[in-house]
Structure 1
């Protein structure tokens, strides 16, 4: 206990008339050594390790406080002065008459009642003050808990917002990769379609060329064939004419070589003219076929 608490306890013990010396089985002449020895003797039976089930915490607390008061010079003096005042008051009361003693006792009773009421009021105020402090503490704890929960909610919202902001970035990156893949596929598809169109156009051009070729090439081939046939016919006709002239004239044919030669040349020129006319006609026909296709 602090010195102030010891002084207060000594004053209250004296006002109650508690005999602290008799509690330790001592008298007012006991020394500090006597107080310690008496306390150890009492503690052998009052200590919780020794008393066991018979342990009385209030008794052991009184023994400790009594020892502390009697070993503290200032507290001991306060206690002794208080006890002296009480003894003097008791002696004076014994010297009073019965009526006066009754009045004094009634006055003291009222004073004690007022003091007790004051103590009770003070205790009540202390209790109210403690209750108010407890309420304020509870309110403060509740406010702290509410602020902590709000901080946790804000932290969760902040983390969620960061995750939400990070997620679109990841999705945007994924969308970017996906768009790049789609663009690459579209490029490949367009290239494939372009090559396919080029091949189709090439095949169409080749087909058109092939369609045009039979109308021109066979015509040219036929012209050459017809020319060759006509040449063969002219040569054959000339040969036949010469043969027939020689055969019909006999030996006299040699006597007129100029006439026979002129007749043969006339027939050859007529055949050549016919052949040239046929060639010109076929060339015109071939040109018309090419222009129409």
Structure 2
């Protein structure tokens, strides 16, 4: 079965009165074999390999379409029927008078013009649709190209970030190292100050401890002097007792009171000494 394009070509050729048989130097009784032989003969001169610079692509295409129409039973029948109708109209027109023939020709001209405009509208619509489709494809292609460009830009940005990241990391590591070194210096300074304070306190404690025996020695000397005074007083009292028998009891009371005072003074000194040693021991434990 012939395709629609081939049938349309046959119908349009008949409506224009194109003699396809004459194009191949044939008549209406030509067989398929005659058509093929005639086409090969024409193609020898019209083919681009043979024609060279005089090659006419429109002519060669018309020869191919003519061959296809005449070899297709359906397309050939459409063409023959169209040509018969054209010949019949021509015969009838020849039988008409001049005025009527002019009217018919004018009417046919208008019909052909209307058909041509209709075809142009259809072709224009088809062309517009094709242009729209081409624009849509172009837009899609542009979007695809733009998407690829964006992807490449993102890849380049990612590579740039990867190249910058080691540098930033090294900078951060250097900052961390500096902070750690500063903390270590501060800690060492604090330890040094603490050691100095501790040494200074120990020195003060040593000085305080060395001063305690000196005070104790003074107190001991005072006690010895008191004892000597008491002994002298006792001796004097004893001597006086030999001369005055009546004052014996009074001298004994004085001696007892003196000894009591000496013991109280010694106890007070011992208590103060003990209290200072306890305070010194508490201070050492606190440090």
Range of TM-score over shorter length: 0.5 to 0.7
Q: Does 1:38 align with 2:58?
A: no
Q: Secondary structure at the match of 2:25?
A: coil
Query: Structure 1 residues 188 and 40 mapped into 2: Cα distance closer, same or farther (>3 Å)?
Result: farther
With over 3 angstroms needed to count, the CA separation of the structure-2 counterparts of 1:102 and 1:184, relative to structure 1, is same
The Cα of 1:83 is off from its aligned counterpart by 0.9
Match of 2:25 in 1: 25
State the Cα distance separating 1:30 from its structure 2 match: 1.7
Match of 1:64 in 2: 64
Structure label with greater radius of gyration: 1
1:121-170 Cα deviation digits (max 9, x unpaired) = 3333333444455555566667x4699499769968x979x99xx99x96
Q: State the 1:90 CA deviation.
A: 1.3
Distance 1:63 1:112 in 2: 25
Spell out the pairing of 1:91-240 with structure 2 (5 A cutoff): 91-134=91-134, 144=143, 148=147, 174=173, 179-199=179-199, 201=201, 208=207
CA distance in 2, matches of 1:12, 1:103: 23
Structure 2 length normalisation: TM-score?
0.57
Query: Partners in 2 of 1:150 and 1:8 — Cα distance?
Result: 47
Consecutive unaligned residues of structure 1, counting only runs of 5 or more, are 220-293
Q: What is the match of residue 83 of structure 1? A: 83
- Which residue number in structure 1 is paired with residue 16 of structure 2? 16
Between the aligned partners of 2:70 and 2:134, the Cα distance in structure 1 is 37
Q: Distance in 1 between matches of 2:196 and 2:37?
A: 121
> Which residue of the partner structure matches residue 275 of structure 1?
none
Structure 1 position 53 matched with structure 2 position 53: yes
- Structure 2 CA distance, aligned partners of 1:44 and 1:189? 109
Please report how far the alpha carbon of residue 3 of structure 1 lies from its aligned counterpart in structure 2 after TM superposition: 0.5
Pairing of 1:271-290 with structure 2 (within 5 A): none
SS of corresponding position for 1:26: coil
Q: Distance in 2 between matches of 1:137 and 1:154?
A: 24
Q: Deviations over 1:251-280 (max 9, x none)?
A: xxxxxxxxxxxxxxxxxxxxxxxxxxxxxx
Is the alpha carbon distance of 1:104 and 1:182 closer, same or farther for their aligned partners in structure 2, counting shifts above 3 Å? same
SS of 1:195's equivalent in the other structure is: helix
**TM superposition shift of 1:34:** 1.9
2:5 — aligned with what? 5
Q: Distance in 1 between matches of 2:125 and 2:170?
A: 67
| Matched ranges for 1:247-286 at <5 A | none
5+ residue gaps, structure 2, are 218-287
Q: Using the alignment, how far apart are the partners of 1:150 and 1:41 within structure 2? A: 56
Alpha-carbon deviations, 1:1-43, whole Å to 9, x = none? x701111111111111111111111221222222222222212
Distance 1:33 1:177, change over 3 A: farther
Name the counterpart of 1:289.
none
Give the number of aligned pairs. 210
